[in-house]
């Protein structure tokens, strides 16, 4: 019996923020995978090692978590005044599925650096020393991201002393601006309300802020879920009943936000919406064992990603947090003490994060956001080729 030999595809393995994934230059993909469709999905799943009934991704590049089961495709921009197009694929771990419904804010921090190193940015726009400003078109959500990439001697500077909670080692700081972060062309608050009552049959009724900013997110009060907001991964991810409850909330909230026609559709859209719960500041120990004092933060936030409590905070969810915090009356704003604000520092399982956001209210009462700002870091972990069976 004959078997197809392995093929190799040029790729770069990168950390971006508190995530890592496999990055591809669009032109390096096999022809069939250079366009959206089953061939592309099949290739990316095989690269990552999915679907894996053991949920370990041993036979691929994935790390068996939502933060490490990720792929990125970068190519020349199809948009005026942009340097590159960036497409993000969240690969399911135990199912044959690639979710293209949203962005990854953490890996966004690595896109500019990858684009420069891959020769996708006009060299005349790059300083020998200083900061390169890279305009990225995020294809999944049709939004602009501006990355400020440090340069040294004509190369991307990856080393530095910027520390990011959730990442062990320091690196160079990369500033990101998420322009017009409200997702899609609809209202930032798809129900028209800053706070709704979300009915989840068999589970309960919950006050909820449902917002499209960065990524569609459903915010709940931690206390309404019988949580404190200080929970770590082990407190949630080992509790099957809690995971089922949070997934039911996500499914019904997605229908309420107009993302699904029926709750069953949530099974085919695991990446969005996100569910997060908030609480006022209090002392807690982070997952690394370090103390986070109540005085260090404006509020506490815990967020679910791909059915599990995230070990830190998704970058796109941080955009949603910052935007919602800037709007008086949302649950996020209330947890942070209320009133107008242009930035917020929140506690997450790995430590703290600060995000800024600009929001304004029109005469008709509709809220819009102009941009959200945060700092991350990124670096190349490995580069060369990934190999997959040719079939």
Tell whether 143 and 201 lie within a shared domain: no
Tell whether 139 and 265 lie within a shared domain: no
Tell whether 170 and 236 lie within a shared domain: no
Tell whether 145 and 166 lie within a shared domain: yes
Tell whether 168 and 226 lie within a shared domain: no
Which residue is it, tokens 């949580």?
Answer: 227
Q: Is residue 337 part of a domain?
A: yes
CB 273 within 8 A of CB 215: yes
Q: Is residue 320 part of a domain?
A: yes
DSSP state for residue 5 in the 8-state scheme? P
Element containing residue 352 per DSSP (H, E): strand 351-361
Task: Provide the domain limits for residue 265.
Answer: 196-365
DSSP state for residue 345 in the 8-state scheme? E
Instruction: List the catalytic residues.
Output: 104, 314
Q: Is residue 226 part of a domain?
A: yes
Residue 174: strand pairing partners: 376
Q: Is residue 94 part of a domain?
A: yes
> What sign does the dihedral 326-329-335-339 (CA atoms) show?
positive
Q: Is residue 148 part of a domain?
A: yes
Tell whether 331 and 254 lie within a shared domain: yes
Q: Give the model's pLDDT for residue 183.
A: 60
Tell whether 175 and 305 lie within a shared domain: no
Compute, in degrees rounded to 10, the torsion defined by CA atoms 51, 273, 294, 291.
10
Q: Give the model's pLDDT for residue 355.
A: 97
Q: What is the chain's length?
A: 391
What SS3 class is residue 42?
helix
Based on the structure, what is the number of domains in the chain? 2
Tell whether 133 and 13 lie within a shared domain: yes
CB 47 within 8 A of CB 59: no
CB 22 within 8 A of CB 10: no
Tell whether 177 and 40 lie within a shared domain: yes
Distance CA 22, CA 125 (A): 26
What SS3 class is residue 13?
strand
Q: What is the pTM of this model?
A: 0.91
Q: Is residue 247 part of a domain?
A: yes
Q: Which two tokens stand for residue 40?
A: 């592309």
Tell whether 208 and 154 lie within a shared domain: no
Q: How far is CA 47 from the centre of its chain?
A: 20
Tell whether 291 and 207 lie within a shared domain: yes
Runs of H (alpha helix) within the chain: 38-48, 105-117, 233-237, 240-256, 315-325, 331-335
Compute, in degrees rounded to 10, the torsion defined by CA atoms 214, 217, 222, 223.
130
Distance CA 360, CA 374 (A): 19
CATH number at residue 247: 3.10.310.10
Distance CA 105, CA 109 (A): 7
Tell whether 270 and 210 lie within a shared domain: yes
Q: List per-residue pLDDT tens for the chain, 391 residues long.
A: 678 899 999 999 999 999 999 999 999 999 999 999 999 999 999 999 999 999 999 999 999 999 999 999 999 999 999 999 999 999 999 999 999 999 999 999 999 999 999 999 999 999 999 999 999 999 999 999 999 999 999 999 999 999 999 999 999 999 999 999 986 556 899 999 999 999 999 999 999 999 999 999 999 999 999 999 999 999 999 999 999 999 999 999 999 999 999 999 988 888 899 999 999 999 999 999 999 999 999 999 999 999 999 999 999 999 999 999 999 999 999 999 999 899 999 999 999 999 999 998 888 888 989 999 999 999 999 999 999 998 8
Q: Is residue 186 part of a domain?
A: no
Q: Is residue 125 part of a domain?
A: yes
Instruction: Label residues 233-258 b or e (16+ Cβ within 10 Å = b).
Output: beebbeeeebbebbbbbbbbbbbbbe
CB 145 within 8 A of CB 52: no
CB 194 within 8 A of CB 188: no
């Amino acid at each position: 019996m004959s078997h197809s030999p392995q093929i190799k595809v040029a790729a770069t393995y990168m950390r971006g923020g508190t995530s890592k994934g496999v990055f591809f230059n669009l032109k390096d993909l096999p022809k069939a995978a250079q366009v959206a469709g089953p061939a592309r999905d099949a290739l990316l799943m095989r690269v990552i090692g999915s679907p894996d009934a053991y949920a370990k991704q041993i036979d691929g590049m994935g790390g068996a978590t939502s933060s490490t089961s990720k792929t990125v495709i970068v190519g020349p921009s199809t948009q005026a005044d942009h340097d590159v197009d960036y497409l993000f694929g969240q690969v399911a771990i135990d199912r044959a599925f690639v979710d293209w419904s949203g962005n990854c804010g953490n890996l966004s921090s690595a896109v500019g650096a990858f684009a420069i190193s891959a020769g996708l940015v006009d060299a005349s726009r790059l300083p020998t020393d200083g900061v390169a400003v890279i305009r990225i078109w995020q294809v999944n959500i049709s939004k602009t991201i501006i990355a400020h990439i440090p340069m040294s001697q004509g190369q991307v500077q990856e080393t530095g002393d910027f520390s990011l909670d959730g990442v062990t080692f320091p690196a160079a700081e990369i500033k990101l601006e998420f322009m017009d972060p409200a997702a899609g062309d609809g209202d930032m608050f798809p129900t028209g309300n800053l706070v709704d009552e979300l009915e989840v049959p068999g589970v309960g009724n919950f006050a909820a802020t449902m917002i499209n900013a960065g990524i569609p997110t459903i915010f709940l009060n931690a206390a309404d879920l019988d949580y404190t907001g200080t929970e770590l991964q082990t407190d949630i991810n080992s509790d099957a009943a809690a995971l089922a409850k949070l997934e039911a909330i996500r499914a019904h909230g997605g229908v309420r936000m107009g993302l699904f026609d029926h709750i069953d559709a949530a099974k085919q859209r695991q990446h969005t919406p996100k569910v997060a719960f908030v609480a006022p500041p209090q002392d807690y120990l982070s997952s690394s064992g370090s103390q986070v004092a109540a005085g260090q933060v404006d509020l506490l936030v815990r967020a679910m990603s791909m059915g599990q409590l995230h070990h830190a905070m998704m970058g796109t969810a941080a955009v949603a947090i910052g935007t919602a915090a800037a709007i008086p009356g949302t649950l996020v704003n209330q947890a942070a003490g209320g009133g107008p604000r242009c930035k917020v520092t929140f506690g997450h399982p790995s430590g703290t994060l600060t995000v800024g956001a600009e929001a304004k209210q029109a005469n008709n009462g509709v809220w819009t956001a102009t941009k959200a700002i945060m700092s991350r870091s990124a670096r190349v972990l490995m580069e060369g080729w990934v190999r997959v069976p040719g079939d």
